[in-house]
Amino acid sequence: MKETKSIPAAGIRELVTAVKAQMSGLGYSQYTIDRMDAVWKNLASYCEEHNDGLLTAESARGFVWDLYGAVLGEKDASQNVNRAVHILLDFQQFGMIFKQSHMTLKSFSDAFSPLFEGFLEKQRKDGFAEGSVRTWRSRLFRFEYFLANSGIDRFSQVELHHLNAYIETLAGFSSGTVGGTIKLLGRLSDYALANGWHSRSFSGSLPDVRRTHSYRLPTVFTPEEVERILASVDRDNAQGKRNYAVFLLVARLGLRISDVRLLRFDSIDWQNRRISITQKKTGVPLELPLPDDAGWAIIDYLKHGRPETDCGYIFVRHTAPFDALKNSFRETVVKAVQKAGVKVPADKPVGMHSFRHSIATAMLSNGVKLTEIAQTLGHTTPESTQTYISTDTELLRQCALEVDL
């Protein structure tokens, strides 16, 4: 049986040279190699400054956080950086490069296709969403690649130590990804036993890695940080004009990004400076005053940025066919936060929702009642707004109840 072997300790620049040679042999394009190499050069300089030129998981995490304000393994604007770092760590520890399956692979090999495709079809029939099935397909591609490089050419050869070895390769990913993958392998093992692909199931022997559900305080920007983030948006181009107007509607009014994406021309009463929508999440109508800066930003976008299109929504994509926006703007926010020099703790997520938390916190600090904040944010009950109290320690003290002893 072919064993995976770690690469002997070497300086990071030697490691990069070896990885580039293997990537070339595997058929990666020079463009992809150069794109990875741009990250590796920065990583090498970082390791030489902080870790005597040696790459470790700890130095990799420090590199991603210090330079990008992100966490290694989390999908965000630094996804390409994470990919480059993982390639080096995988090659250093396992002597192989895991292909970026969802982009480079289109189908399973003949040896594993009947089992994997049958398993995925069973998940569809059991009612799982197509998006979940796509995620599982991508994870199975990676698993198949590991098996092939371990000398496994049929699933009946898989033993528990193979599965545990594969789980070790997930060490750099989030607990959610690791836990989800282990559950996937367990269900696959059960399916393989039930359909004659293996003589036993390993589902009861796999480690139990649970995602931590402890409550994380939401990301909150100070009013000064909000202005710095808004100022960081480049409004000299069409897409920047769109993003700036979108940011203002969320930052000034606390609108959900889902409602901003669906904003129509008849949603705005320009004469009375009002926005009227029916919220996508709750189905409840909401009417709010239109701030002057947000109004002018929308006008600037409509006159000088919006592509020619018959789409009925105000904000549209800037690539053909110029239809409705679909993304969550998370990566756009992350880039703006980084450009503005706003540091966010590693355990706090960043996205458009951060602006909602920020405006609610500012209102709380100014003494606005929860009922009024709930009305502004479009919450159906004040209880939904109480999450925002946890962002302010002083407000928590004020809301504490006396306990009779």
Would the pTM count as exceeding 0.95? no
Q: Which of 148, 179, 194 is the last residue of a domain?
A: 194
Q: Which residues are catalytic?
A: 256, 280, 353, 356, 379, 388
- State pLDDT tens for residues 307-326: 999 999 999 999 888 888 88
Closest CA to 354 of 317, 391, 324: 391
Contacts of 110 (CB under 8 A, 6+ apart): none
Helices (H), 175-222: 175-194
Q: How confident is the model at residue 169 (pLDDT cuts 50, 70, 90)?
A: confident
Angle between helices 113-125 and 175-194 (to 10 degrees): 100
Q: Which of 63, 79, 97 is the last residue of a domain?
A: 97
For the chain, the domain total comes to: 3
Q: Has residue 314 been placed in a domain?
A: yes
CA distance 348 to 330: 13
Q: Has residue 158 been placed in a domain?
A: yes
Q: Which domain holds residue 90?
A: 12-97
CA distance 171 to 184: 16
Distance in angstroms between the alpha carbons of the first and the last residue of the chain: 68
Closest CA to 364 of 353, 354, 380, 376: 376
- State pLDDT tens for residues 77-98: 456 787 888 888 888 877 777 7
Same domain, 251 and 328: yes
pLDDT computed for residue 172 by the predictor? 64
State the SS3 of 9-21: CCCHHHHHHHHHH
Mean pLDDT of 277-289: 84
Contacts of 107 (CB under 8 A, 6+ apart): 113
Q: Has residue 347 been placed in a domain?
A: yes
Q: Which two tokens stand for residue 405?
A: 């002893």
Q: Has residue 1 been placed in a domain?
A: no
CA distance 117 to 136: 11
